[in-house]
C-alpha cells in the first residue's frame, strides 16, 4: 500500500471507530426528523382545555360559538353582569377566561374583551377572533340580502400545474415549491459538511503539529502526501456518515409513509364512497367525516406523488460530487491554515478569507432559489468556490446537462489549483514553530521554490 493509502487508512479508521461518530451516525437522521416533528407535536399537545364563560350582551352569538377539542364555551343566564362573571372566574377552577361581547358588536367590532387570570394560548385567541369575524360577516351579508351560500360558491382556488420543457421539447411535470425545499436543504447540507469536516482537517493538522508528531511523520512521507492523505481520509469519513444517513433517513421516510397510508386505510375500512353517498340525511355528519378523510388522503397522496417528480438519483449523485469537490477545495485551505499556526486561536485571522465565499454562497442561495435561471445564478454555479452550494440549489429545478458538466469540470480544476497552492504553504508551515505568521509571510511561502 502507498504512503498516502496508509495515511488515509489511519485517518479513516481512527475517526469511524470513535463512539461520537457511531452515536451521531445513528442519531443524526432521528434528530433531524425530531427537529421537524417534535415542535409540531408539542404545539398540538401543550395546551390544556380552555373553558370560556361568554357574556353576550348582543344576544347574537348565544350558542353559536362551537366547542373544539380543547376550547369549551359556557353561556350563563342572560343578564349576568360582567363583574359577577369576573368573580365567578376568580372563584372557580372550571372557568379560565371571560369573553365579553358588547351590544353594538355589528357596527363597532372593536371593544370585545377576553378577561383571564391565566394567559390563554394563541390558538384560543385566534379561534375566538375567527369565529366572531365569520359570524359578523354572515350577519352583515344577511342584512344586505346576500346569501352566504352564494359567496361560498363564488370562491375559487387555482392551482397551477407546472410543466417543464427540456432542450429537445419533451415535457415533464415539476413542483416549484418542492424543488425549492430540496434545493435549499441540499445547499444547507453542503454548507454544514464543508464547515464540519474542513475544520476537522485543520484541527487534526494543528494537533499533530503542536504534539510534535509531525516531525516523526515527515521523516517517512512528504508533506504533500501527508496533507492529501489527511484530506481524503476525512472525506471518506464524511462520505460514510452521509451514506449511512441516507439509508437511515430513507427507512424513516418509508416507515412514515406506510403509517400514514395505514391511518387513512383504517378511517375508510368498511365504508366505500358509494355507500357514503347513499346514506340518509341523518347520517350526513358521518359522511362529512369520510369525505374529509378522503380529502386528507388525497393531499397526502399528492405530496408523495410530487416527491416522485424529484429526480433523486441525479440529485444524490450531484450532491456526492459537489460535497466532495467543495470539501476538497476548502479542506486544502483549512489544512494550509492549520499548518501555518501553532494553536487554534491564531487561525482567526486566516479563516475570514476562507469562510467569506462559503457564507456568501449560503446567503446568495436564498436569492438564487427565487430565480435559478438568472445570469447571476449561472455564474455563481460556475465559480468553484460558490458552485457546490449554488449548483445544488439549482439542480432540483432542472439544469441543462452541459451546465452541470462545465460546473463540475471547473470545480475539479479549482480543486487542483487550490491544492497546489495549499501544498506550498503546508510544506513550509508544518515545520514552523513559535512564530506569528502574517499574510506577507504566507506569500513568501507561495512563491518560494
Q: In this predicted structure, what is the pLDDT of residue 278?
A: 44
C-alpha cell at 192: 454544514
Q: How many CA atoms are closer than 13 Å to the CA of 325, on its beta-carbon side?
A: 26
Q: Which residues contact 102 (CB under 8 A, 6 or more apart)?
A: 57, 58, 108, 111, 112
Q: Which residues pair with 99 in a beta bridge?
A: 54, 114
- What is the pTM assigned to this prediction? 0.62
Cell 341523518, residue located: 282
Q: In this predicted structure, what is the pLDDT of residue 256?
A: 58
| Residue ranges in 369-400 assigned as alpha helix (H) | 375-380, 387-394
Cell 432542450, residue located: 167
Q: Which residues pair with 400 in a beta bridge?
A: none
Q: Where are the domains of the chain?
A: 50-154, 178-254+310-447
Buried b / exposed e across 215-254, counting CB within 10 Å, b at 16+?
A: eebbeebebbbbbbbbbbbbbbbbbebbebbeebeeeeee
CA torsion sign for 331, 332, 333, 336 is positive
Q: How far is CA 448 from the centre of its chain?
A: 46
Tens digits of residue pLDDT in 50-100: 888 888 888 887 777 788 877 888 888 777 788 888 887 887 777 888 888
CA–CA distance from 248 to each of 27, 181, 307, 414 (Å)? 10, 20, 18, 33
Q: In this predicted structure, what is the pLDDT of residue 280?
A: 36
Whether domain 50-154 has CATH 3.40.190.10 = yes
Q: How many CA atoms are closer than 13 Å to the CA of 406, on its beta-carbon side?
A: 11
CA distance 115 to 95: 11
Q: In this predicted structure, what is the pLDDT of residue 291?
A: 47
Q: In this predicted structure, what is the pLDDT of residue 39?
A: 59
Q: Which residues in the chain land under pLDDT 70?
A: 1, 32-48, 148, 157-176, 215, 252-311, 434, 449
C-alpha cell at 201: 482537517
Cell 364555551, residue located: 73
Separation of first and last alpha carbons in the chain: 30
Q: In this predicted structure, what is the pLDDT of residue 170?
A: 58
CA distance 8 to 382: 30
| Residue ranges in 395-433 assigned as alpha helix (H) | 401-429
C-alpha angle 106/111/117, rounded to 5°? 130
CA–CA distance from 398 to each of 5, 68, 287, 402 (Å)? 38, 45, 43, 12
Amino acid at each position: 500500500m502507498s504512503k498516502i493509502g496508509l495515511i488515509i487508512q489511519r485517518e479513516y479508521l481512527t475517526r469511524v471507530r470513535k463512539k461520537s461518530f457511531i452515536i451521531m451516525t445513528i442519531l443524526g437522521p432521528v434528530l433531524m426528523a425530531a427537529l421537524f416533528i417534535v415542535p409540531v407535536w408539542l404545539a398540538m399537545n401543550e395546551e390544556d382545555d380552555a373553558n370560556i364563560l361568554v357574556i353576550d350582551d348582543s344576544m347574537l352569538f348565544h350558542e353559536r360559538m362551537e366547542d373544539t377539542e380543547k376550547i369549551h364555551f359556557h353561556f350563563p343566564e342572560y343578564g349576568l353582569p360582567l363583574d359577577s362573571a369576573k368573580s365567578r372566574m376568580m372563584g372557580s377552577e372550571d372557568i379560565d377566561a371571560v369573553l365579553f361581547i358588547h351590544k353594538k358588536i355589528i357596527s363597532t367590532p372593536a371593544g370585545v374583551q377576553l378577561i383571564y387570570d391565566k394567559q390563554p394560548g394563541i390558538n384560543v385567541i385566534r379561534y375566538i377572533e375567527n369565529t366572531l369575524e365569520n359570524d359578523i360577516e354572515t350577519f352583515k351579508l344577511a342584512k344586505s340580502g346576500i346569501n352566504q351560500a352564494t359567496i361560498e360558491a363564488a370562491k375559487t382556488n387555482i392551482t397551477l400545474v407546472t410543466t417543464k420543457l427540456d432542450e429537445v421539447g419533451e415535457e415533464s411535470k415539476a413542483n416549484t415549491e418542492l424543488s425549492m425545499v430540496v434545493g435549499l436543504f441540499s445547499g444547507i447540507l453542503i454548507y454544514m459538511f464543508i464547515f464540519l469536516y474542513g475544520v476537522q482537517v485543520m484541527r487534526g493538522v494543528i494537533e499533530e503539529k503542536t504534539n510534535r508528531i509531525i516531525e516523526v511523520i515527515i521523516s517517512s512521507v512528504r508533506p504533500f502526501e501527508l496533507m492529501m492523505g489527511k484530506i481524503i481520509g476525512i472525506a471518506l469519513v464524511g462520505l460514510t456518515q452521509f451514506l449511512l444517513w441516507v439509508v437511515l433517513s430513507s427507512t424513516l421516510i418509508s416507515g412514515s409513509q406506510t403509517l400514514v397510508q395505514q391511518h387513512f386505510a383504517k378511517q375508510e375500512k368498511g365504508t366505500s364512497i358509494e355507500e357514503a353517498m347513499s346514506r340518509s340525511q341523518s347520517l350526513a355528519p358521518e359522511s362529512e367525516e369520510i369525505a374529509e378523510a378522503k380529502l386528507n388522503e388525497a393531499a397526502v397522496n399528492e405530496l408523495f406523488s410530487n416527491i416522485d417528480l424529484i429526480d433523486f438519483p441525479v440529485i444524490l449523485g450531484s450532491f456526492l460530487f459537489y460535497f466532495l469537490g467543495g470539501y476538497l477545495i476548502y479542506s486544502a485551505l483549512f489544512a494550509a491554515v492549520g499548518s501555518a499556526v501553532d494553536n487554534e486561536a491564531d487561525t482567526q485571522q486566516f479563516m475570514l478569507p476562507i469562510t467569506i465565499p462559503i457564507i456568501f454562497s449560503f446567503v446568495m442561495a436564498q436569492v438564487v432559489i427565487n430565480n435559478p435561471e438568472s445570469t447571476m445564478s449561472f455564474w455563481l454555479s460556475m465559480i468553484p468556490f460558490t458552485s457546490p452550494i449554488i449548483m445544488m440549489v439549482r439542480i432540483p429545478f432542472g439544469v441543462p446537462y452541459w451546465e452541470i458538466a462545465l460546473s463540475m469540470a471547473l470545480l475539479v480544476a479549482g480543486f487542483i489549483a487550490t491544492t497546489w497552492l495549499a501544498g506550498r504553504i503546508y510544506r513550509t508551515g508544518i515545520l514552523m514553530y513559535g512564530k506569528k505568521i502574517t499574510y506577507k509571510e504566507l506569500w513568501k511561502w507561495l512563491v518560494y521554490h
